[in-house]
Structure 1
Amino acid sequence: MSAPADAAVHDFLLPESAAGKRLDKALAEALPDYSRSRLKQWLEQGALTVDEATPAPKTAVGGGERIRLIVPETPHDESVEPERMQLNIIHEDASILVLDKPAGLVMHPGAGNQSGTLQNALVAYDESLAALPRAGIVHRLDKDTSGILVVAKTFAAHKQLVDDLAERTIKREYEAVSVGVMTAGGHVDAPIDRHPVDRKKMAIREEGREAVTHYRVIHKYRAHTHIRCQLETGRTHQIRVHMAYVRFPLLGDPVYGRRLALPKDASEAFVGALRGFKRQALHAATLGLTHPETGEAMQWSAPRPADFEALLAALAADAREHGK
């Protein structure tokens, strides 16, 4: 396989110390910037060869084999069309892109959302991101959750950040408004898995994956609580499922929420403000990580969007009106 212009090429001999190891393990140690699954895929595609052959990943190596990898330049998913959109970029360097996602923006194409997603926008912003899994998206936010997230710009950065997520060294803090008045903060340690009947939902299930959420009170209102949540794990819908589990579901959550809590003698304006908030009250406020290239500790924050600020203002006004 010939290398196209500007392609990343790795050409080297496996060390003698690799003797006796499985090929996939030896490759992962020799090419730490790429995940084992990615190396396996390239081996199957012929982009990675061992002594000009493509043996099975479980094959034992003897050490000294010539490894040649031509990193494919073809997009990871050619079906994702570039679409120009305005991106609110908070930070960018050669390895990562940190941005503030608005509520309503889907992360990547899927059933019913083949276009108009963040992934489409990322591929248009930087065509090199097309070669990365989901254009470098490392972690996801629900469509109607606003806030901060990180995108990797290189394979090495993507692998490192995914590893950091798994090792729980990436800090993610959210702000939310729950229905009900909490007495104090706490934490939820309850496993999450797909709902046994409704596969679009998640649920607390004993056989699920570990999920831990810490929450603390920022401010109490007459029938709601403004809270801050910190994730230890990153399961689908985790905060929404966990807060519903402890009977403080997020205001506006169409899936895990409950009927609006309307305090006694609530004004028409306040009721209108609550009914007018058409999404779950959840915002990814802070992101902290170790830079995958420099090792520097970095942290960013995304301001609350206008609808979230208006909701808090309405809650505060109702509390003042009733002497709370």
Structure 2
Amino acid sequence: MTDPRLSGADGLGCPAVPAAERFRRAIRVDPGLAARRLDHVLAVSIPEISRSRLQAWIASGQVRVDGSPRRSRDKVWAGEVIELEARIEPIGDCRPESIALDVVFEDEQILVVNKPAGLVVHPAAGHPDGTLQNALLHHAPNLASVPRAGIVHRLDRDTTGLLVVAKTLHAHCSLVAQLQARRVHREYCALTIGEVVAGGRIEAPIGRHPTHRTRMAVVRDGRFAATRYRVLERFRGHTLLAVELETGRTHQIRVHLTSIQFPLVGDRVYGGRPRPPKQASPALVLALQTFPRQALHAIRLGLEHPTLGTTMTWEVPMAADFADLLGLLRHESVTCS
């Protein structure tokens, strides 16, 4: 948990001056992260900075725990204060690539994009290039001096919709602070298997699955996570939900909805195997069986502009494949009513 009393001059863990060169953060180790490696605690606490970059900062002495340097593998304990003050160097392991971007809004501080399905947000194992981060560095080369090219939150590879990018370090600090304070409004459309009776709120901790390490799960020692949902439309055997995130854990919507027995259509990882309703037409059966991704679309985004201080909101149309599937479901629900 970031301790504002120990942060930069603005109380948000952001540098007062010069904003374009330094990155400062002070973190008091939460009891839930006690006895873990220093680099792991930093990666969890500052997810917008890559773990490799954090490890490099630790190795170069730019990170101290209770005033003393530590190694990446050293354990930290509840109540200790991790202080980070580092120079932001241009990204060297991610090259600009000419990849088309659907830009919804852009000014000197922020960039809002409508991400298509299949686009990975930043390089990772198995995806060294061809990512949104590569595209952003080509679109705006100055993003090389902003952590993770300005990416402050993520969408899964096959989730479509709105994502905001910080174009300056000041904007980066502002957006991270808003996300931590839960002041960024993120609304999704999610198509679930099963007929949801009413809306609700799911509060359940999320962490790595105990046996399937590439998956997330609701686990006792996971990180706090909360999701709100309401019913938008019901079909035979399926429900369209509006889902709002209070927190932003990996795969949060997919894991939470699966935990209440309503997995997303197309989500093979978390149990969304096709379950066509009885007497469904061949066209609908085929559409449900071949839908290639989780049916999840980030439709609305709202935040406070980093310098103007005004509230800004954006909305994008449903992704075409999602819209087509909804059209089939609506047609058959009317036909069978």
* Contact kept in structure 1, 2:202 and 2:226, CA below 8 Å: yes
Q: Relative to 1, partners in 2 of residues 1:304 and 1:43: Cα closer, same or farther, differing over 3 Å?
A: same
Distance 1:56 1:315, change over 3 A: closer
- Measure, in 2, the Cα distance between the counterparts of 1:30 and 1:250: 41
Classify 1:57/1:25 alpha carbon distance in 2 versus 1 (closer, same or farther; 3 Å): farther
Pair 1:308 & 2:322 matched: yes
Structure-2 residue corresponding to 1:270: 284
CA distance in 1, matches of 2:224, 2:126: 30
- 1:321 deviates by 2.0
1:58 aligns with 2:67: yes
Q: Secondary structure at the match of 2:174?
A: helix
* Deviation, structure 1 residue 58: 2.7
CA positional deviation for 1:26: 7.4
- Residue 31 of structure 1 corresponds to which residue in structure 2? 16
Q: Which position in structure 2 is the counterpart of 1:151?
A: 165
C-alpha distance in 2 between matches for 1:31 and 1:121: 30
SS of 1:36 mapped into structure 2: strand
Candidates 281, 284, 293, aligned match of 2:295: 281
Inter-CA distance 195–293: structure 2 relative to 1 (3 Å threshold): same
Q: Select which of 127, 142, 160 maps to 2:141.
A: 127
| Pairing 1:297–2:297 present | no
- Change in Cα spacing, 1:45 to 1:93, as seen in structure 2 (3 Å) is farther
Distance in 1 of aligned mates of 2:331 and 2:283:
10
The residue number in structure 1 matching 2:132 is: 118
SS state at 1:178 partner: strand
Q: Alignment partner of 2:253: what SS?
A: helix
Structure 1 equivalent of residue 117 of structure 2: 103
Question: For residues 29 and 297 of structure 1, do their structure 2 counterparts lie closer, same or farther at Cα, with a shift above 3 Å needed?
Answer: closer
Are 1:240 and 2:247 counterparts? no
Letter in 2 for 1:138: V
Q: Partner amino acid for 2:236?
A: R
**Aligned counterpart, 1:9:** none
* CA–CA separation in structure 2 for the residues paired with 1:177 and 1:219: 9
Q: Bigger radius of gyration, 1 or 2?
A: 1
Distance in 1, Cα, partners of 2:58 & 2:286: 58
Query: Which residue number corresponds to residue 75 of structure 1?
Result: 90
2:30 is matched with which residue?
none
Q: Which residues in structure 2 correspond to 1:16-27 (within 5 Å)?
A: none
State the SS of the aligned residue for 2:232. strand
Per-residue deviation at 1:43?
11
The residue number in structure 2 matching 1:188 is 202
TM-score, reference length from structure 2: 0.78
Between Structure 1 and Structure 2, how many residues are aligned?
Answer: 284
What code does the residue aligned with 2:276 have? Answer: L
The answer to whether the Cα contact below 8 Å between 2:15 and 2:23 also exists between their aligned partners in 1 is no
SS at 2:190 equivalent? strand
Q: 1:270 to 1:157 in 2, by over 3 A?
A: same
Unpaired segments ≥5 residues, structure 2: 26-48, 69-84
Matches within 5 A, 1:194-205: 194-205=208-219
Query: Residues 121 and 57 (structure 1 numbering): CA distance in 2 closer, same or farther, change over 3 Å?
Result: farther
Cα distance between partner residues in 2 of 1:263 and 1:56: 57
Question: What residue ranges of structure 1 are gaps of 5+ in the alignment?
Answer: 1-20, 49-53, 60-68
2:183 aligned with 1:169: yes
Counterpart in 1 of 2:174?
A: 160
* Structure 1 position 55, deviation (Å): 10
Are 2:23 and 2:87, in contact at CA under 8 Å, matched by a contact in 1? no
Q: What residue in structure 2 maps to residue 4 of structure 1?
A: none
Rounded to whole Å, the distance in 1 between the matches of 2:283 and 2:323 is: 16
Of 167, 192, 209, 2:223 maps to: 209
Q: CA 1:163–1:70 in structure 2 vs 1: closer, same or farther (change >3 Å)?
A: closer
Q: 1: distance between equivalents of 2:23 and 2:113?
A: 24
- Report the alpha carbon displacement of residue 85 of structure 1 after superposing the two structures with TM: 1.0
Query: 1:259: how far off?
Result: 2.8
Per-residue Cα deviation, 1:169-217 (whole angstroms, up to 9, x for no partner): 0000000100000111111000101111111100101111110000000
CA RMSD of aligned residues (A): 2.8
* Residue of structure 1 equivalent to 2:74: none
